[in-house]
Amino acid sequence: MKNAGQQEIANVVVEAGDPTAREYAHDRIAPLARFAPELTNYAHVRIVNAGPRTIEVHANLDVNGTPVVAQAEAGTATEAIDAVRDHLHRQLVKMHN
């Protein structure tokens, strides 16, 4: 699988009140550049409490002008971030075809 040679997304903005969730999201999303077929200019991740037991995560990547978007809900920020990361990964792999 060919990629743009980029190891990490340099510009990852994470909006979250919890610093631990912010750091975890950055660490899970930044390496996705390795799977992108072209340069990934930035990533924007937003983590919000959607209810008393629900965390919602929205993520947008800019792959050389092409938006790649994912969202997920889960009981914890870690689970929601992982689900978004997996969805973005699948989309980036499909972009190679």
Q: How far apart are CA 40 and CA 54, in angstroms?
A: 29
- Give the domain extent around 85: 18-57+67-94
pLDDT tens, position by position, 9-24: 999 999 999 999 999 9
Tracing tokens 């008393």 back to the chain, one arrives at 52
Q: How far apart are CA 71 and CA 84, in angstroms?
A: 6
Query: For residue 9, is it within any domain?
Result: no
Cβ distance 88 to 31 under 8 Å? no
Write the CATH number for 78: 3.30.160.100
* Stated pTM of the model: 0.92
Query: For residue 10, is it within any domain?
Result: no
pLDDT tens, position by position, 74-95: 999 999 999 999 999 999 999 9
